[in-house]
């Protein structure tokens, strides 16, 4: 099967293993394209895409916009901060006004869990979830798995530990779904206050000792503490968090093996990861960003093929 089984990309939990294969094979092609002197293909000349960002973003927003432009789509960008949302306009009204300008695909980041699913039921466009609250960030998980596959040859059978603030992370949940779909083993590591109670129901093991977690894994995906989503104190101090869960060169050098270090960004250098680790040859953080463009090109291209003209 060379087509997606879904009509929108709302979350990894809606995908089948074949969808990931199809996305990665298509991304392989686009990765070759974006490394050519002319980095553009005319595939989506007749498609218009709106990028709607109701929450801040650097990587995801720029990566989607570049992916769309590399596919020759027409692109419009919307940031809630400078929009009529500030005057009280609802999500549906905002999106329907944008869609009346003949938009085919909406890429949306929103602070509310399920915002993409809600939109997909009310508007006539393909919806791509670019992050919905603490729920899912499917293209981040796809580019993360794609980067592991590129570095280690495959994801199947690999041991991945996700370290940090699991409770508030959409990256963690989407990664868990994506990695398990591909046959990887997943653990999470962090303060118990930042690990959701339901996590073991997903077949994920919890390890609260960072050294043991790193000794077990092939890959550590390190997450930022999301202070902006916290309304109470989850640990005594940032200093203590860094002492117990921060990844530094000394910890890595004492493992006796070389693990792969990932981070979705933005990084809080010196908190969850030191600069000498983030910038080391074990880190594939910038490869993740590079691969994000090819993976997003693949997702957009595959969904656009379903649009009847
Ligand atoms: N990884 C990620 O989603 O980064 P941004 O918030 O900058 O888009």
Question: Where residue 62 sits, what CATH number does that domain have?
Answer: 3.40.50.1370
Query: How many whole angstroms from 197 Cα to the centroid of ligand 1?
Result: 25
Is the pTM of the predicted complex or chain greater than 0.85? yes
The answer to whether 224 is annotated as binding is: yes
Q: Return the closest-CA partner of residue 167 out of 147, 141, 189, 138.
A: 189
User: What pLDDT digit, counting tens, does each position of 1-32 carry?
Assistant: 689 999 999 999 999 999 999 999 999 999 99
Domain membership of residue 37 (yes or no) is yes
For 7, other C-beta atoms within 10 Å of its C-beta total 12
Residue 229: what pLDDT? 79
Instruction: Give the residue ranges of the chain where pLDDT is below 50.
Output: none
Residue 2 lies in a domain: no
User: Is 104 in contact with 126 (CB distance < 8 Å)?
Assistant: yes
Are 110 and 35 found together in one domain? yes
Per the annotation, does 137 bind a ligand?
yes
Domain that holds residue 281: 138-285
Q: Are residues 51 and 121 in the same domain?
A: yes
- List all residues whose CB is within 6 A of at least one atom of ligand 1: 57-60, 131, 137, 140, 264-266
Q: What is the pLDDT of residue 86?
A: 82
Distance CA 286, CA 288 (A): 5
Question: Is residue 58, in this structure, part of any structural domain at all?
Answer: yes
Q: Nearest Cα to 156, choosing from 136, 181, 139, 175?
A: 181
Nearest CA to ligand 1 atom 3: 60
Write the residue with the smallest CA distance to atom 4 of ligand 1.
59
Identify whether residues 203 and 128 lie together within a single domain.
Answer: no
What is the tally of structural domains in the chain?
2
Pair (208, 278) in one structural domain: yes
Residue 6 lies inside a defined structural domain of this protein:
no
Q: Are 77 and 307 in contact (CB under 8 A)?
A: no
Asked whether residue 3 is domain-assigned, the answer is no
CA of 266 to the centre of ligand 1 (A): 6
């Amino acid at each position: 099967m060379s087509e997606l089984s879904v009509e929108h990309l709302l979350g990894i939990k809606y995908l089948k293993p074949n969808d990931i294969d199809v996305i990665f094979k298509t991304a392989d092609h686009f990765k070759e394209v974006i490394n050519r002197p002319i980095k553009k293909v005319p595939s989506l000349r007749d498609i218009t895409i709106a990028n709607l960002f109701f929450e801040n973003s650097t990587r995801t927003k720029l990566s989607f916009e570049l992916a769309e432009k590399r596919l020759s789509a027409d692109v419009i960008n919307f940031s809630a901060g400078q929009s009529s949302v500030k005057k009280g306009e609802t999500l549906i009204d905002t999106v329907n006004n944008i869609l009346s300008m003949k938009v085919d695909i909406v890429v949306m980041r929103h602070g509310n869990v399920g915002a993409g699913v809600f939109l997909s039921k009310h508007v006539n466009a393909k919806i791509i979830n670019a992050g919905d609250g603490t729920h899912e960030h499917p293209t981040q998980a796809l580019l993360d798995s794609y980067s592991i596959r590129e570095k280690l040859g495959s994801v199947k059978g690999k041991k991945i530990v996700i370290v940090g603030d699991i409770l508030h992370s959409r990256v963690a949940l989407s990664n868990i779904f994506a990695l398990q779909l591909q046959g990887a083993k997943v653990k999470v590591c962090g303060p118990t206050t930042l690990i959701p109670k339901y996590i073991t129901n997903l077949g994920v093991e919890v390890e609260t000792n960072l050294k043991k977690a790193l000794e077990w894994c092939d890959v550590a995906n390190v997450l930022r503490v999301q202070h902006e989503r916290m309304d109470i104190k989850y640990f005594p101090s940032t200093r203590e968090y860094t002492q117990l869960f921060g990844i530094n060169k000394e910890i890595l050098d004492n493992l006796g093996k070389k693990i792969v270090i990932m981070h979705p960004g933005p990084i809080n250098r010196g908190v969850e990861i030191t600069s000498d680790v983030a910038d080391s040859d074990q880190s594939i953080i910038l490869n993740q960003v590079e691969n994000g463009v090819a993976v997003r090109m693949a997702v957009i291209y595959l969904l656009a093929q379903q649009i009847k003209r």
